[in-house]
Amino acid sequence: MTLLEVKDLSISFLHYAKGSRRDKTNVVDGLDLEVHEGEIVAVVGASGSGKSLLAHAVMGILPKNVLVSGDVSYKGERLDAARLKRYRGTEIALVPQSVAFLDPLMKVGEQLHAPADGREQAAERRTLFQKLKLSRQTEKLFPFQLSGGMARKVLFSTAAVARTRLIIADEPTPGMHESDVREALARFKSLAEKGCGVLLITHDIEAALRIADRIAVFYAGTAVEIARAEDFSGSGEQLRHPYTKALWRALPQNGFEPLKGAGQASGPAVELGCPFGSCCGSATGRCAEGKPEPRELRGGWVRCVHAS
């Protein structure tokens, strides 16, 4: 069953341009994405390509000066204010990036206990704490007293209770030791095995490939390709979009080719034509004519006129 469905999502900021004029910058542009039950979908892309905004848009916690259009549905129903209120913190959970997302003046134990939580969740968390090798003492600490690893476990345990159906994890692995990364990923994997949908947002394509079923590749505010994890193999012949191929080949074990157009990925969306056009080796005149429409291809999905 489809848990999360994002259709034609665009996010843009209002800001001051030169003088006293105000301008609009598109950060996410025409994004489509689906997450099914028991599935891990990874969203990969350069830092600043609008991935975190996607997470915040789904949770309905974007700042006020942000314009959003498009549709977000959960279990086939439009996720409007009332449904968000019902599902947020119960069925849909966010695992944030860092300890800065915890109230600095609230003890961990008190903070873990969300308003919607009952005795059942408290007991679940206690077991989870044992499993994660967090002592009971941890509950009495303030967030600033947590070590990096402890903080990650605490953040993870806010979401990982049985009633959660959909987890959105925003950069859960950066700056972690290899062993910690493996452990963190294993946790998400085990949640998915219990039927939970996981949207894993990361810039670490290798980490994503280890557990994800499908990978959405972000470029200039939109998904240029959605591929199955097994498509990332060999020299990337199975991949559909030139940017994805370039990303794949830029990995150390795949040739370490320098990535062109990496800067573009974090800039504002290009108005006309394929956003990757200026950096693409196989670009032709057709690429500049308009934005490529998304189309199905070999069990995946791509925004490129040339892909076959």
Partner 1 sequence: MIRRHMLQAAGMNTGIPRWNGRIRTAISVSGAIALLAVIMLGSRLMGSEGLAVSLEERNMAPSPAHLFGTDWLGRDMLSRTVKGLALSIQVGLLGAACSTLIAAVMGLAAATLGRAADRCISWLIDVSLSVPHLVMLILIAFVCGGGMKGVAIGIMLTHWPSLARVVRAEALQLMSADFVLVSRKLGRSRMWIASRHLAPHIGPQLLVGFLMLFPHAVLHEAAITFLGLGMSPHQPAIGIILSESMRYLSTGMWWLAVFPGAGLLLAVWAFDRIGGHLRRLTDPGSVRL
Partner 2 sequence: MLRLIAGFIGKKAIRLLTLLAAVSVISFALVNASPVDPVQAYIGADVMRVGPEQRAEIAAYWGLDRPFPERFLKWANALLHGDMGTSMIYREPVVKVIGERFLSSVWLMALAWTFSGVIGFAAGIAAAMRKDSWIDRLIKGFCYTLASTPAFWIGLLLMMLFSVWLGWLPVGLSVPAGVLADEVILLDRLRHLILPAVTLSVAGIAPIALHTRQKLADVLESDYILFARARGVSGLALIRRHGLRNIALPALTLQFASFGELFGGAVLAEQVFSYPGLGQATVEAGLRGDVPLLMGLVLCSTLFVFTGNTLADFLYRIVDPRMRAGKGMIR
Q: What are the C-alpha distances in Å from 174 to residues 207, 261, 283? A: 10, 22, 33
Minimum CB distance to partner 2 smaller for 75 or for 306:
75
16 binds partner 1 (CB under 8 A): yes
Alpha carbon distance 11, 34 (integer Å): 18
d(CA 231, CA 240): 9
Q: How far is the CB of 296 from partner 2 (least distance, A)?
A: 32
Q: Which is nearer to partner 2, 104 or 252 (CB)?
A: 104
Q: How far apart are CA 219 and CA 44, in angstroms?
A: 9
Stretch that binds partner 1, among 15-23, 109-117, 125-133, 234-242 (CB under 8 A): 15-23
Please pick, from the candidates 131, 144, 177, 194, the single residue that binds partner 2 as defined by CB under 8 A: 144
CA distance 225 to 126: 40
What mask of x and - would describe binding to partner 1 in positions 46 to 65, judged by CB under 8 A? -----------x--x-x-xx
Q: Which is nearer to partner 1, 81 or 100 (CB)?
A: 81
Residue closest to 304 by CA, chosen among 222, 232, 233: 222
Interface of this chain with partner 2, residues 31 to 70, rule: CB under 8 A = 56, 59-61, 63
Q: Which does 193 bind (CB under 5 to 8 A by kind): partner 1, partner 2, none?
A: none
Q: Does 13 bind partner 2 (CB under 8 A)?
A: no
Of 20, 137, 179, 253, which one interacts with partner 1 (CB under 8 A)? Answer: 20
Q: How far is the CB of 117 from partner 2 (least distance, A)?
A: 9
Select 61 or 123, whichever has its Cβ closest to partner 1: 61
Cβ(299)–Cβ(239) under 8 Å? no
* DSSP letter for each residue of 133-149: T--GGGGGS-GGGS-HH
Of 51, 83, 88, 125, the one binding partner 2 (CB under 8 A) is 88
Q: Would the CA dihedral through 15, 18, 22, 23 be positive or negative? A: negative
Joined tokens for residue 137: 């003492």
Mask for 276-295, x = binds partner 1 (CB under 8 A): --------------------
Q: In angstroms, what is the minimal distance from the CB of 166 to partner 1? A: 15
Element holding 44 (H helix, E strand) = strand 40-44
User: Which structure tokens are listed for 96?
Assistant: 């944030």
Residues 62-91 contacting partner 1, CB under 8 A: 62, 64-72, 79-81, 84
For 208-264, give the DSSP string. HHHH-SEEEEEETTEEEEEEEGGGS-TTSTT--SHHHHHHHHHSGGGT-PPPTTTTG
Closest approach of Cβ 53 to partner 2, in Å?
12
Q: What is the DSSP string of 184-204?
A: HHHHHHHHHHTT-EEEEEES-
Nearer to partner 1, 31 or 154 (CB): 31
Could you say which DSSP state residue 105 is in? T
Q: Does 140 bind partner 2 (CB under 8 A)?
A: no
Q: Tell whether residue 165 is a contact of partner 2 (CB under 8 A).
A: no
Binding site for partner 1 (CB under 8 A): 14, 16, 19-22, 57, 60, 62, 64-72, 79-81, 84
Binding site for partner 2 (CB under 8 A): 56, 59-61, 63, 85, 88-90, 93-94, 96, 98, 100-106, 114-116, 142, 144-145, 158
